[in-house]
Chains A and B, each alone.
Chain A
Amino acid sequence: MKAAKALYATLIVIFLVAPLLVILPLAFTSSAFLTYPIPAFSFRWFSELANNATWNRAILNSAIIASSTTVLATLLGTLAALGLRSRDLYLKNQLRTLFLLPMVVPAVVLGVGMQAMFVRLGINSTYFSVIVAHSVIALPFVVISVSGALAGVDRRVERAAESLGASPWRVFRLVTLPLAMPGVLSGAALAFATSLDEVVLTLFVAGPNQRTLARQMFSTLRENISPAIASAAFIIIMGTIVIAAALLLARLAPARQKARAKKAAALAQDTVS
């Protein structure tokens, strides 16, 4: 029974993880095909990506669009999460559901509607339309993440600052925001990852000039499976890992701050006594 359990768990772990491990080494193949065994180690496909104008443009576009999306979504989402904290806000649960809905609505349906609307407004196939579309589906992640962090903030700390005469803006800047920072940062990371991976909305609202890395990967996969795909996938996975690392550091940061604060308090005690 125990052995069967272990075997089952191992098999499923392999099923879950193996596909992700299989694609990475192929980024460094010297062959023209995406198959094993790899004849020799090579950076051929990375230089292909770096020197091909289409891929180059796509990588640049992804960087522009993902970072703009991150800024816009994090700003709007953080403000809204702060507002949702208010205990007696009218229709609070309905508002929260509305804010999470972009995660649920099928991307194709949203894409059709966005394209029709942007075409009517004459702003389809612009950086603006792509950034806005990505922000809409990235926002729920920011709202969830920041709300989670704010739930852990003790309101009494803010009241204490208030009672000591700090203005609301000072309380926010010096107390609330630093305490909620891990949530804001992980929300930002999730927004960035969402934009980086977005294909469906991009198909509808982007023109040839706004082709992103994911969009370029998608159309390449439809035509032929070239190792350039594995290299692009490698870049996306690395992007995700860098974001996860940043996230981890952000989680550690408050601990370090707390330690520093403790030290400062101890020092102050020493000076007083």
Chain B
Amino acid sequence: MSRAPQLKALVLIAPLLVFLGVFFVWPLVTVISQAISDPAISRVLPRTASAISGWNGQGLPGAEVQAALRADMAANTDEMAMGDVIRRLNASKSGFRSLMGKTVTALKESPDKPLAEIDKRWGDTAYWLAIRENASPYTDAYLLESVDLERGSDGSIQAKPAGSSANGAIILRTLWTGALVTLCCLLIGLPYAMVTASVTGWKRALLLGAVLLPLWTSLLVRTAAWMILLQENGLINQALMGLGLTNAPLALIYNRFGVVLAMTHVLLPFMVLPIYSVLLTVPGNLMGAAASLGAHPVRAFLRVLLPLSLRGVISGMLLVFMSAIGYYITPALIGGATDQMISSVIAFYATGSANWSMAAALGLILLVLTLVLYALYNRLSREPGQMG
């Protein structure tokens, strides 16, 4: 345990560590801080924000708070930022727009005039409460909004009025689509992995190659291929009509069916490979032993092979689900307007409507969900033999 090799290893690792720290960890920290920060008011009215935090909300705040507000308003030179503050305050307590306008004008003429003399509304506790409520540089408003919740006027968390936000529905749709894709991958992938493990030679090479080839091919190319196959006059519709199974082309693309089909194709390798690698460790004569003891093949499968392959099955399911809920390209190209998942909504908020805080809040939810699933997966793959 000399120190020299340790130091050498650190020197070798340092460049990547710095690189990822700056260009991977920092962006993610930016997402987190963007999702919970709300600097509008604390930046324009810094003295007020710190002074009002000591006020207990009863009666009127003391003279030092009022002096701080006067000083902040006199010091402000950024009209746009002030406009932002007024809009925000007005949203919490209507009447703030005219009150602030009047106060700004009055303070320009006589900076020392007491606030209550400028407008008697400054004697109303509700206005000061609105300032206190918005003064914190942090907010949970965006995170709450991304799951269709909001804070009521009394500060308690409540559901948003039905129909006012689609975020909750989109998160549910994302989870549902992910679950459907995982189920399809499981139903196709489990038997396929079992067949692959049960054959040898060129057959096994062929079956494995068929799984690895899509994994090597560009995701974009695979999605484009499905668009060509599924389009109105694509090969699948041509075949169905040629066989006389249908008279008019079926709607296969720009709907949920197309999304689930294409995503199943894209993610199937992630289900097959973990199951296959676990099955390789199962002795080949177990099924024969079960049969010789009189077990029906179905019973032998359920009681012997399935429990032994369970670790691979769960790994595969976690991997597929985790990847599916973050997918952007395939739903964006093959889905219709009602098939868009959380990633599309994040991209829309960020690039379409420049609502960075909402993009970051939804992104944070997706990030946490993915990391939790990954931690589970990691745990599972690190402790062989703990499951099943």
A positions within 8 Å CB-CB of B = 1, 5, 8-9, 12-13, 15-17, 19-20, 22-23, 26, 33-36, 75-77, 79-80, 82-86, 88-90, 95, 97-99, 101-102, 104-117, 120, 132-133, 135-136, 139, 143, 193, 196-197, 199-200, 203-204, 214, 217-218, 221-222, 225, 229-230, 233, 236-237, 240, 244
Contacts and interface: CB of A to CB of B under 8 A. Distances in A.
Interface residues of B, number: 81
A269 B224 CA distance: 60
A141 B129 CA distance: 54
Nearest to B365: A109
B336 to A, nearest CB: 13
18 contacts: A15-B265, A16-B265, A17-B214, A19-B265, A20-B221, A80-B16, A89-B9, A104-B322, A104-B370, A105-B371, A106-B366, A107-B343, A108-B346, A136-B23, A143-B16, A203-B351, A217-B220, A237-B217
B192 A12 contact: yes
Nearest to A35: B233
A20 B12 contact: no
Contacts of A19: 222, 225-226, 229, 265
B192 A200 contact: no
B34 interface: yes
Q: Chain B at the A interface: mostly helix, strand, loop or mixed?
A: helix
A200 B329 contact: yes
Interface in B297-334: 297, 322, 325-326, 328-329, 332-333
Given A139-B20, A203-B347, A86 B5 contact: yes
Interface string B180-206: 000000001001100110100001001
B220 A214 contact: yes
B248 interface: no
Contacts of A36: 235, 238
Contact of B326 (A15, A107, A196, A221): A107
A221 B261 CA distance: 18
A259 to B, nearest CB: 25
B13 A112 contact: no
